[in-house]
Amino acid sequence: MATSMFKLAYGYDLQGKEDPFLRESTLTLYNGFRAVMFANFYVNFIPALIYIPEWVPGAGWKRKLREWRAQKEQAISAPYNWVKERVADGTAQSSVLGTILQDSKLYSGLSPDIRDDNLEQLGIMIHAGGTDTSSTALVNFVAAMVLYPDVQEKAQLELDTVLGSGTMPTISDRDRLPYINNMILELYRWRPVLPIAIPHVCYEDDVYKGYDIVKGDVVIGNIWAMCRDQRVYPNPEEFNPDRFLDPDVPPAPIFGWGRRRCPGLHFGDASVFIVLTSILSVYKILKRQDSNGAEVQPEMKDAANSLSL
């Protein structure tokens, strides 16, 4: 996934797992995830702490975040400067940032500094939005196939029947694979890769189901709860693709909603389809065996990071 995202964003081919661009970008994402976890920093649930000086005991998080910010600035500027140089000397490969840099109309009215800052942020967001989320979805897929072997058998039977045994799927085959498509919908619902939506600020006063939402309020969608609404998805803990045979059952809103909906949803969804079906076309995912040859029953455990009062 990281290879595809770097190619898409910068037109850059990663040079293995130790590629410096990949290493620094991955560290930036890791630090970012750690920063927004509520239980990691008190300031996440007591915003007024941001005004405390660094020298106050317990404010060491400010120094930590300053270090992370410096690392992030280096991580996002290095690949951006790389693609800028390739555009300048005419050797840039097709990419999102390369295309924008070659068409001044796309950033007319922006100063060079603002343009560079916006494009640096765009590059890291393409990587972040497509790498960790898609990879997490595939990890969840493997877990589902181990826990629900009957679903795996049905999916592989559909692939063999429609495409032929051993035939690798293409995106053009998708409309002919209804069970696979329902399985992907259920995968997104069963374990949403972003259980809590990205916070957004309300830009005007609003009322939602009797709740007053004042301009400036921060709104965070609880996608996990939506995916487990038993009125919409009976037996929500069960991995059941057949629930989507009912046309009245809506897909889970894992890509967001409204004008803030994920702009990369089609790319990400297609990537999951290709990788998932390719795995099922070649492999059968089985439970691990212990030293005596007996199957080990896996257990799904969600990593906790929250504050309970």
Exposure on the CB side of residue 6, measured as CA atoms within 13 A: 22
Do residues 102 and 92 make contact, with C-beta atoms less than 8 angstroms apart? Answer: yes
Query: Can you tell me the distance from the alpha carbon of 7 to that of 1, in angstroms, rounded to the nearest whole number?
Result: 10
Annotated binding-site residue? 202: no
Query: Can you tell me the distance from the alpha carbon of 68 to that of 155, in angstroms, rounded to the nearest whole number?
Result: 43
With left for phi above 0 and alpha for psi between -120 and 50, is residue 235 left, alpha or beta? left
Non-local (6+) Cβ contacts of 236 within 8 A are 189, 227, 228, 229, 230
Query: Can you tell me the distance from the alpha carbon of 193 to that of 26, in angstroms, rounded to the nearest whole number?
Result: 17
DSSP state of 290: -
Closest alpha carbon to 122 in 256, 9, 25: 9
Which residues sit in the known binding site for heme? 262
**Binding site feature residues:** 262
